[in-house]
Structure 1
């Protein structure tokens, strides 16, 4: 017997697909606002020093706080992946853990702003909050936007980037208060939609079923980790040389927003930015962009770092939409599959930030000497070249055509997704 909650969710999803990508259903729009706030929170935590107002001149304390946030995200995503069955069965407990970590971490960042040496601890807790919350929103996107995943993923990134632009127009005294609204809005919106759609009662694949249907190959995770490493390296270079109110941040915000809007336009009109195309161009391109960092003076580092950051949005959004599509096609446990895919991305971000902080922070250069900067660049380029030798050989993410080809060749068992009112895929 079909549950009433399932009927409501399917009807809402059908209304969304009928209306195109512009939403008219206010209940679904609440969740979309929450997703945008969640990723806006991530952009602010990773790409700015707004949550760390007393960053030290040498960059060691601020860099450590940013790395602690990424470490917290990785730990939480790993926990969600490992405990997926229990967390799906106790959704309210999952949400309460995310809310407790996010609120406690953000509040402690404000309370401890006069003790910069302790900022890493609340940053770690805040990272756990994001790591627990993001798989819930990943599942929400798969449930309601499965007909146009690329459009919605790119739209979410564009809206989050535009929301962060308001930092440029707010006084320094109000920066933290503005940034703290993002996690609060993300938590509040999910609590509302969890009640509206009764997501706790939604039936899902178990851990064993999901792992059996899982078809993403290891090259896909390598590509995801490499794009994350590029983003982390770019962010680390920017954080090592800039603060929120430096004039280059105006260019950074404008360029990041323009890149996300370009991706949104492509997903709506041209459809040229695919996972395979972006990785074939992005990997060698990132090495070309990073190589001049060995020679350029410090004021110009931000320019090449910005180019690398904007380029990293192409494979990052592609991998995010691809893993969501894979969840829908193969009827996976969304919480489990999404958390593992994002874990690979944040492990790459952590590695990239470590390399950038080691090569460009004033404290690191003073301790290790001037050769640490070219060493950082060389190690990054070697890792990119290593990844490119595996990733650029073929398309990495499975899709409907590949499923049909495998089935016609007799080369495997096709997945068995649930029937859903979506025009974007058919049962293989």
Structure 2
């Protein structure tokens, strides 16, 4: 359609020109004494058009001739820019391929090309970004080659070239360089240097997932357990790990944190500082209770820390109580039954009645009766539970307690038989 319109317009112009020129009788007379020149108007118009075209062509040619040095300079600068980009791309490719020496040489070549363009740095797009990336690639290659001196030199050059409050992506570039430096320090197991690099990051960048991962590793390496625990909580909230991995990581850090306590008061402060969900983790609660017992804590406080876990396990049924966590809970409770109150005795007996086929609960109920002075009931429960217990430690303990009860009654024969069974069951 557009071509047809152009053809129609061209024919219209041709017809108009033919009508104007065909019947044009005008003349133009030039007087140049003693001469007189008569020219038709059509000829004058053609001469004017030709003169204009000739003058325009002459001016364009002169401008192109005068522009040749500038164009040559621009061409040379473009060639250096292309060489710089090519060297940087080659450095990245060599780094990914594991050719670290070649990567460092290519990065150094890119830096040299950039320095040759320093006189026109303002006209080269992203010149500072490219120079910084070249230094980072060279530093990464030097780190892989264990050349710490050259790595630090390239790192410092990369940081010096970026203003602290840069715009147009320079701030993100500086943060990325600092994160890489922190990871290099972490690879060398220099936790202090890694934490120092992370501390230099802005608050927003320091809460990114990558920065938090590095901080977690550095804090664990430096044995800063509270900081590592707080970082792990943030990572878990950001879904940086799978639920199983996050639970395992938090559990391990919580156990390490509890092990740092050296007296019951310090352990109590650490315990109260944990979140409610963390205090209900079976492994954490049992470990804290065992730690408190070893530090000479009050058995009633030990039982108070175990109460939420006990309720969860009892409501979980035989599967929860029958596993290794249930065994640890029962072993911890049996060692901390001193001063047992009626409320705890009722809880244990209720759990035993709810699961009458569980010999562990029957054994624990018997031990609770012993501490409450209910000798007859304890002897009956132990006599039923001892032959069915599968764990050697519980079985030996049950027979020993039966032997003591028999000695209290004055039944020497039953006591001797119980001591014999305890010796056979001892691990």
Structure-1-length-normalised TM-score:
0.22
Structure label with greater radius of gyration: 2
